[in-house]
Structure 1
Amino acid sequence: MPVPDSTIGQRKKQRNSRPCSRRVIRDIERKCSNPEGRFVRVLNIARAIFTQKRNDKNKVYSVHAPEVECIAKGKVHKKYEFGCKVSMVSSSRDNWILGINAVHGNPFDGHTLKDALHQVKQITGWQPLHAYCDKGYRGVAREIPDTEVHLSGKKKKSMKASLWKWFARRSAIEPIFGHLKSDHRLERNHLQGKDGDRMNAILSGCGFNLRKLLRAFFLPFSQWLFWRYFDHSTGFIGSVMSGTKFEMTPAHAF
């Protein structure tokens, strides 16, 4: 199978970068025996990048953000992602974000559930009685005595109709993550460090809830304006200031 020229060029640059980085590190260590301040951090990152191997753990993937981790997605179109995990708890009925936090160390999903529910109790003042999770949270039901953990994948015939109703609502959390990434800047963080990751996650959740509040407050007012100034007989909207009318196509009528 032929190898693309770009791949060959990348491998050549990688082979040439190791001798250059080794010379630069040794030259700096020889000329600056007692580094201070930010220079110590940069030099330690350079040493870690030079000495790390392919199968090592806790590797450095970014110089300006050494806390970045490699997260295996297991999907064909996107095998890996670089960043950190974000745990989120939302209400089953109306999809309000009750708790959200950035989690470092690439932990098992089930190990983040206890801290996530504890954050919900701190924010709202009540302990959730039921938690509906996917199969990534296996084996954590015993660790949370105050909350009953339900895992997806069960058959509809094996449970009550009321319980199946909330199981069907579990997948509603997936589009919330999509809206947080596309509309509330969760996909790329511009704040520095692990604290910046946590701040970005919390602010994204706040923005999501605020948008729902604004929509709930202004939707009745916008509907009143629509029915007040829309001429149903002609399909025109009248201008309040000048009295002129603007034609609306059917695609923009609602």
Structure 2
Amino acid sequence: MDWSRFDAAFAECYSSDMGAPAKSVRLMVGLHYLKYAFNETDESVVARWVENPYWQYFCGYTHMQHVCPIHPTCMTKWRHRVGDARLAEMLAETIDLAVRQKHLPEKDLQRVIVDTTVQEKNITHPTDSKLLFRAIVKLAQAARREGITLRQTYVRVGKFGAIRAARYAHAKQFGRMQRENRRLKTYVGRLIRDIRRKAAGVSDKLAKLLELAERLICQQPQDKNKLYSLHEPDVRCIAKGKAHKRYEFGQKVSVATTNRGNWIVATMMVPGNPYDGHTLAGTLAAVETITGIAVA
């Protein structure tokens, strides 16, 4: 593998005269390769790296390390810093390595198969009562951080209201369930108004939370682009016609593979839930950018 390629690609993201000395590019790139190859999380790949000398050698270390040199959150910060365009270099190097090792003929890169799937987010199944109660908790916590004294937090009564709504739904007493949901909406609305009255200056984080809370209490069952999660507001409810899973909550992803061999040559996250045919042009352009070969 050509590790010097990553040094050149990520050079603009590093500074030699600012802050603490940065971790090596090979370490960060190697950890991400291992993460996706073995389907690990940021936390688990760092934990396994410490006890696996083969992984350490892959990341450029020649002696056994007993402590990982980074914290798992550093991987998230590093991804945000380098951006999506530079991260595509990892996939490009994988494809180039396969071509150099003669595992992938170049002619196979001229014909690809493009399809879309859903990348599910790590959220619970969204219900009105659950979302409204989470909004109550988050608003109360945000007000406490901002030093705002609320007339009432509604956390305790909101918890019991969410429990009652879930029990009524289980018993198919939907009228009573809707009554509890309306009560929870009232609590959220009171918190929003109380915070806006007492906040001298609203921070960006609190303003975003207030906007999401207002969007939550205003949305109707038949609305489009509904809010399904407060910490993942971009989540969409997508139906792909699967027999075992009627609806999936996440974001649409377009994937391109070679016609022969099924080598993944491009992936692209698609905002919203567009028609699959409308994602084709962007995915083919990404294939040509990554592989450097025009698709026939």
Q: TM-score, normalised by structure 1?
A: 0.46
Larger Rg: 1
Higher relative contact order (CA 8 A, sep 6+): 2
Q: TM-score, normalised by structure 2?
A: 0.40
